[in-house]
Structure 1
Amino acid sequence: MSAPPLVVQYLYLHAPGDTYTYPSARAGGGSDARRLAARYLECAAVQAASLRFAGVACEPVLVTNLADPAAALDDHGRRVLDAIDRLGVRRLTAPYDHAPGPEVEMFYSSRYVFDAIGAVTSADDPQRAVWLVDVDCVWRDPARAFAATPEDDAIACVTIGYPPDWDVSGHTRASIGALANSAEPPPWIGGELLAGRAGALRELVATCEALDAAAPSGARLPTEEALLTYAGALGQIRFTDRSDLAGRIWTGPRHGAANPPDPKALALWHLPSEKGLSFRRAARALTRDRTTRLRADLADAGRAAHRFNLDNSTATRVRNDTWLAAQKLRSAIIERR
């Protein structure tokens, strides 16, 4: 009997004093590494719950760069980590060997996915199904997703429909196409999902390492998305777009993004603008072990869409704005004590 799929979340935990920028983190500024860590761990806990409550056979894993992550957390972060442990998530440690240069601040930790792949895959089991996902994701139908794991050397991913000249951390589809001498701007490979067989993912890391080492001077690719897009443009990694299964969904009234046409039909929701909002509220239910309502919401597409703000109604916006204002006031009171 084959082993169940590995579902891998990965989180690089910054040290106090690190300089970094994560625009959607809602962590109250770039100087509080503990608050940033707690924000991302809240997402990881909620994603783990969405898997566990679905009752689908899989092995959830969280990879971090610290053997004792609790030491880098505040009390709230430790409570969230305890909730993750109660959900049966296996924790692994991997150093950040694929970090970009120290001059990179925007999405500094994005390349940590390559280290996570090394931590969870083994040359002894090249056919193991592995799904690597950003922490700010919610599983709606994991069984449908796992059934679509490529059987060969292909890597399932989500492509993002950026205009050719849309700047993403210093690169565009057009600039990467020019670097690869491709006739057309290549598809932009999103970093929120990489899925395939363990052997294929290990080959992906080796390919990206070689391309990064050989990148022309002045054309470094600091994020995993840029490097993966370049590898795809060269034809050195065979990506298969599974935007029918997973999608990057921006919520709220001001994002201006082109969302998937029918988000509720997807098996996996990536919700980058819900850090510090719906993920935070759901994580609170998990830390308090009050999960009855959360379980019911995750089991129903309509209720899940409402909980995670996919239904951008006026009532939802008012509720969210009121809740955020209350949280800011609460934080201000605590800081004055």
Structure 2
Amino acid sequence: MTVVPAPVVVQYLYLHAPGDDFTYPSARAGSDAGRLAARYLECVAVQAASLRFSGVDCELMLVLNLEDPRAVLDEHGIALLGVIEELGVRRVTAPYDHAPDPDVTMFYSSRYVFDAILATAPADEPDRQLWLVDVDCVWRDPGRAFATLGAEGDALACVTIGYPPDWDVSGSTRASIGTLPGSTEPVPPWIGGELLAGRAGALRGLVATCEDLDAELAAAGVRLPTEEQLLTAAGALDRARFVDRSDLAGRIWTGPRHQAANPEDPASLALWHLPSEKGLSFRRAAAALVRRRAGALRRDLGETDRALKRFNITGATSTRLRNDAWLMTQKLRTLLPTRHRGTTHGR
């Protein structure tokens, strides 16, 4: 009887040093490297909890660029690392060898996914199933996701984003990438970076393909600083095979001011990518995990309607008001004299 190894879910996070120049608009962390790290580690912890609470067999990994991340973390960040370890997430260290040019500040760390692939996709297990996911994701039905991957052979599962042809995304558009010599279509699908899943061998092949393509484009004077741009170009030039799994995963912008074309039925998805929730519902859920009071979070993740409300996806007016009130409480605590407030794990 052949034993099929459990799928591997890989989160990855590049930790900036104090003084680095960076811009991550949805992180709600400003220019503070320590606060930014904590904001993303909150997401790591919540995503790991969503997998562990599901009871589905899988291996969890977190790729970091620092062997000892405590050097850039505050007390809250260190507490989050402890929670992540307790959830059975194995830490892996990998340098950022695929970084964009140093003058790039917007989403500077996006290409770190390529280093995460090489650090976790076993060369001697080319058929091992890997899921590379952004940290600000919540798993609703990982069992269904894991069971439905693999029929596409070496094609890699992704989420395509329906940007208008001329919508500027970090300096590129679908139409501009469609004008690259060799493009197979004038307006190629935009490959989102929140999900890359498939066989380990195919993922390693994707990295090699993107390295070669990046060098060719640079020689021609074309800069594509983010992973989404490079992946979209690889698909447009028929250098890589992707399959859109928007039936399994989706990028969902919450709040009243976004102009995104969200999935029509988030409740039907197995994986939610929630970029605008980093400073809200992820933060509240992570605070509960740090305080070892995760009973309500476990219950909410176990029921679709409750999960939709907790993460501000639908029916969330009262939840958002509660989130806003909680955030205001955290701000007020930071203004109180230290001797009156003690340690705050959710700030």
TM-score normalised according to structure 1 size: 0.96
Uncovered stretches (5+) of structure 2, i.e. residues with no partner: 341-347
Q: Residue 190 of structure 2 corresponds to which residue in structure 1? A: 188
C-alpha distance in 2, partners of 1:142/1:43?
17
C-alpha displacement at 1:313, in angstroms? 4.2
1:257 counterpart = 2:260: yes
Give the 3 Å change call, closer, same or farther, for CA 184–312 of structure 1 in structure 2. Answer: farther
Q: Residue 170 of structure 1 corresponds to which residue in structure 2? A: 171
The count of residues paired between Structure 1 and Structure 2 equals 335
C-alpha displacement at 1:335, in angstroms? 9.1
Give the 3 Å change call, closer, same or farther, for CA 313–6 of structure 1 in structure 2. Answer: closer
Q: Which of 218, 232, 235 is the matching residue for 2:235?
A: 232
Secondary structure of residue in 2 paired with 1:297: helix
C-alpha displacement at 1:147, in angstroms? 1.1
Give the letter for the 2:54 counterpart: A
Contact 1:253 1:312 in 2 (8 A): no
Tell me which moved more, 285-294 or 4-13: 285-294
1:158 counterpart = 2:150: no
1:20 counterpart = 2:25: no
1:298 counterpart = 2:281: no
Q: Residue 209 of structure 1 corresponds to which residue in structure 2? A: 211
Q: Residue 37 of structure 2 corresponds to which residue in structure 1? A: 37
Contact 1:249 1:271 in 2 (8 A): yes
Contact 2:157 2:243 in 1 (8 A): yes
Q: Deviations over 1:262-290 (max 9, x none)?
A: 00110000000000110011001111111
1:316 counterpart = 2:323: no
Q: Which of 288, 291, 312 is the matching residue for 2:291?
A: 288
C-alpha displacement at 1:291, in angstroms? 1.3
What is the CA RMSD across the aligned residues, in angstroms? 1.5
Contact 1:158 1:247 in 2 (8 A): yes
C-alpha distance in 2, partners of 1:313/1:48?
23
C-alpha distance in 1, partners of 2:137/2:185?
34
Q: Residue 198 of structure 1 corresponds to which residue in structure 2? A: 200
C-alpha distance in 2, partners of 1:331/1:233?
49
C-alpha displacement at 1:107, in angstroms? 0.2
TM-score normalised according to structure 2 size: 0.93
Uncovered stretches (5+) of structure 1, i.e. residues with no partner: none
Contact 2:309 2:316 in 1 (8 A): no
Q: Residue 71 of structure 1 corresponds to which residue in structure 2? A: 71
C-alpha displacement at 1:149, in angstroms? 1.9
Contact 1:252 1:312 in 2 (8 A): no
% identical equivalent positions: 71
C-alpha displacement at 1:150, in angstroms? 2.3
Contact 2:94 2:116 in 1 (8 A): yes
Q: Deviations over 1:96-149 (max 9, x none)?
A: 000000010000000000000000012210000000000000000000101122
C-alpha distance in 2, partners of 1:176/1:332?
48
Contact 2:51 2:139 in 1 (8 A): yes
